[in-house]
Structure 1
Amino acid sequence: MAARKEKPKLAALDALEPPPRRNRLNFFELAYERIEAMLIDCTLKPGRLLTMQDLQDMTGFGRTPIHHAVNRLSADTLITIRPRHGLQIAPIDLARERVLLKLRRDLERFVARLAAERAGPMHRNQMLHMARLLRDRRESLTLAEFNGLDRRIDQMILSTAGEPFLEHTLRPLHTIFRRIGSIYHSHMPGQHSLDGTVDAHLALLNGIASSQPERAIAASDGLIAFVERMFDEMEETIDPSLLDSSVEPLLPH
């Protein structure tokens, strides 16, 4: 009888136990991804000033996950923490990010080679499936949908390369350039079509899936060249207020 009486107490104690740590870490990652997405689509405009509480209200996450995410994004140079003054979304400095593009080119070439050399049957099937998805949906893809697929492609390639250090290095670079791409396709005249970037990604996926390192590297270089052309056009014609919201716009958006 005594043993039967203890069971409800044990169940009650179990119910009071804090959730497993992995759940807490999931909240940290989800908060990071939510803010990262808002940076990319410029819901959080470059140059904007805000507070931790603003991010809590916008994302629905509590103080601890937001604090963790902001610290990571600060290390990624995407958010600047200003003690006693809150936060600032990093403005876009095209000259600085041209320099970072050179770093990204070298890293992406290394990743493309590793991925092509190490891709097994499962990886190749994933790449070919993603390539079919891009081809089938290219006419109807929205920019937000493409950015979601682009993120999955980056994760897929890094996973295939099998070197965790590369993910920590490349992920913030991917976010930086995805944000620039969003502004380019949203605001540059005549550049709403995603055909150019879709073609570049298809070439990269097919190069890795075919286990041809040199083909994969050439495709990676082609993708970086596409980004360089974006920079050329943006430097000539982009409204500076789109790169830094603290700048007075040249024309009403």
Structure 2
Amino acid sequence: MVRRKRTLEVVRPDDEAKPGRRNRVNFFELAYQKIEDLLINCELRPGQFLTMLELQHITGLGRTPVHHAVNRLSADTLIIIRPRHGLQVAPIDLARERMLLGLRRDMERFVVRLAADRASLSHRNQALHIERLLRERRATLTLDEFNSLDRRIDALILDAGGEPFLAHTMRPLHTLYRRIGFIHHRCIPGHADLSGTIDRHLAILNAIANRRVDAAMEASDALIDFMDSMFMEMETGIDPRLLDCSIEPLLGT
């Protein structure tokens, strides 16, 4: 009896250590999500320079999770690590990101096709729930609220597709274009209306919920076409400092 008790006592510290490891992983993901949000809504402005310590203060998280998140975001080409000079939020290069939109078109079509083909009953019910919410809130939805739902839609589609590799590939692309969408809707006069992007997301959700593969791919292409039109407007009518705040202002501006 005594030996058994001692054996149990030896095991307990290991059992307690496991949640600790899970907590550390959660803090890494939390740091990534917080910084990702700051990039999307341009609280961390494109082209902005800052230090790791400043990023810790902004997020309220410690050095290790922030450092881990920065390394991931650097690999995602969203943050530039400049040795001896700190960090820089990657400026927006419209030509590059419009070129990458072609890559996203092909990958998004592939992911959406998988999702529509493989969606479980749970996935389909979730798609219908988000579709219904978007329709109900269509006229009043704020940009921040839409971005939150958009992230849920992306996660749902990737989960329904059932291929974990795709999540690591698609997430940086989603962040790039969510940031583009934020600037387009928030900073370009006359483009605050979200109905165009909402309608295209509704079409994707409906097609996946009803497992209509061809319709899902068509809806995905329509969304990418809509995003491409954003680039056309931004290339001709946007203040370059919104894309890179490190640009020196012109005299008198």
TM-score, normalised relative to structure 1:
0.92
1: CA distance, partners of 2:140 / 2:247: 34
Instruction: Name structure 2 gaps, 5 residues minimum.
Output: none
2: CA distance, partners of 1:129 / 1:17: 38
Partner residue, 1:68: 68
2: CA distance, partners of 1:17 / 1:204: 43
Secondary structure of the 1:80 match is strand
Amino acid aligned to 1:237: G
Partner residue, 1:192: 192
Amino acid aligned to 2:191: Q
Q: Contact 1:240/1:249 (CA < 8 Å) preserved in 2?
A: no
Partner residue, 1:30: 30
Q: Please list, as runs of the form range in 1=range in 2, the aligned pairs for 1:161-200 lying within 5 A after superposition.
A: 161-200=161-200
Shift of 1:247: 1.4
Spell out, residue by residue over 1:8-66, the C-alpha distance to the aligned partner (whole angstroms, 9 max, x if none): x99x979x969520000000000000000000000000000000000000010000000
Shift of 1:131: 0.2
Question: Are 2:220 and 1:220 equivalent residues in the alignment?
Answer: yes
1: CA distance, partners of 2:250 / 2:114: 45
Shift of 1:156: 0.3
Q: Contact 1:39/1:179 (CA < 8 Å) preserved in 2?
A: yes
2: CA distance, partners of 1:206 / 1:145: 20
Q: Contact 1:241/1:250 (CA < 8 Å) preserved in 2?
A: no
Question: Are 2:120 and 1:120 equivalent residues in the alignment?
Answer: yes
Partner residue, 1:47: 47
Percent sequence identity over matched residues? 64
Question: Are 2:100 and 1:100 equivalent residues in the alignment?
Answer: yes
Instruction: Name structure 1 gaps, 5 residues minimum.
Output: none
2: CA distance, partners of 1:249 / 1:42: 19
Partner residue, 2:148: 148
1:215 to 1:249, Cα distance in 2 relative to 1, 3 A = farther
1:140 to 1:21, Cα distance in 2 relative to 1, 3 A = same
Secondary structure of the 2:88 match is strand
Amino acid aligned to 1:189: P
TM-score, normalised relative to structure 2:
0.92
Shift of 1:164: 0.6
Q: Contact 1:147/1:178 (CA < 8 Å) preserved in 2?
A: yes
Q: Contact 1:93/1:243 (CA < 8 Å) preserved in 2?
A: yes
Shift of 1:248: 3.3
1: CA distance, partners of 2:68 / 2:175: 17
Partner residue, 1:239: 239
1:252 to 1:111, Cα distance in 2 relative to 1, 3 A = farther
1:13 to 1:123, Cα distance in 2 relative to 1, 3 A = closer
Amino acid aligned to 1:122: S
2: CA distance, partners of 1:46 / 1:123: 35
Q: Contact 1:239/1:250 (CA < 8 Å) preserved in 2?
A: no
Partner residue, 2:85: 85
Spell out, residue by residue over 1:125-154, the C-alpha distance to the aligned partner (whole angstroms, 9 max, x if none): 000000001111111111111111100100
